Chains A and B, each alone.
Chain A
Amino acid sequence: DSGVTQTPKHLITATGQRVTLRCSPRSGDLSVYWYQQSLDQGLQFLIQYYNGEERAKGNILERFSAQQFPDLHSELNLSPLELGDSALYFCASSVAAGGADTQYFGPGTRLTVL
């Protein structure tokens, strides 16, 4: 158990809908990262938050948005959904205090868009 929690575990929804994925980092970690894993693209970095502020952006689509709350949990919002958004979404957390930074991953949310 990495200490990172993600909910829900599975999500099945339809195109055009909106979903919110939730992540709670390990105790003491200030930074949260979101990654998308699909068969064709592999694991891709989406976005990073540090202590409530956006720190870095990767291959995140404009239809996606994220935020980190004062209690440090984070949410990833996807809307409007498209078929190609079906993937595993992972959250990772780290201390991110500078220099090298080891990330620990949650169990993921499997999103299926029908």
Chain B
Amino acid sequence: GQQLNQSPQSMFIQEGEDVSMNCTSSSIFNTWLWYKQDPGEGPVLLIALYKAGELTSNGRLTAQFGITRKDSFLNISASIPSDVGIYFCAGQLGGSNYKLTFGKGTLLTVNP
């Protein structure tokens, strides 16, 4: 089945730094999504990307849908302590196939 490779697995940064993480896939997706999960909580949707090449921002977060449809990245600018958590990418084929395929996650730690 499809697999998503998400990197890095973990990051430890200083408050104020920018962060970048990415996902690559062995096959195409028609929708890419980025979620954040806090301990003991469910994933929360951050950004959804619906078109190859699309660049979308949500506050300090920016994500792009790769033109090959096999990759996506998420940038966080000027990190703050509440950015701590696990970030997941997810791909969706769409059409009649709505299941999400998730990456393994990036654990982000922000040092105040």
Q: Give the interface of A toward B (CB within 8 A).
A: 2, 4, 6, 31, 33, 35, 42-45, 48, 55-56, 58, 90, 92, 94, 96, 99-108, 110
Contact = CB atoms under 8 A, between A and B. Distances in A.
Interface of B: 30-31, 33, 35, 40-45, 48, 50, 88, 90, 92, 94-105
A81 B94 CA distance: 33
Contacts of B35: 105
B99 A45 contact: yes
Contact of A108 (B42, B48, B100): B42
Contacts, number: 68
Contact of A90 (B42, B45, B90, B105): B42
A43 B43 contact: yes
Chain A facing B: main interface SS: strand
Contact of B48 (A42, A48, A56, A102): A102
Nearest to A43: B102
A101 B92 contact: yes
26 contacts: A2-B42, A4-B42, A6-B42, A33-B99, A43-B102, A44-B102, A48-B98, A56-B98, A90-B42, A92-B42, A94-B98, A99-B95, A100-B30, A100-B50, A101-B31, A101-B92, A101-B94, A102-B33, A102-B45, A102-B48, A103-B45, A104-B45, A107-B40, A108-B41, A108-B42, A110-B40
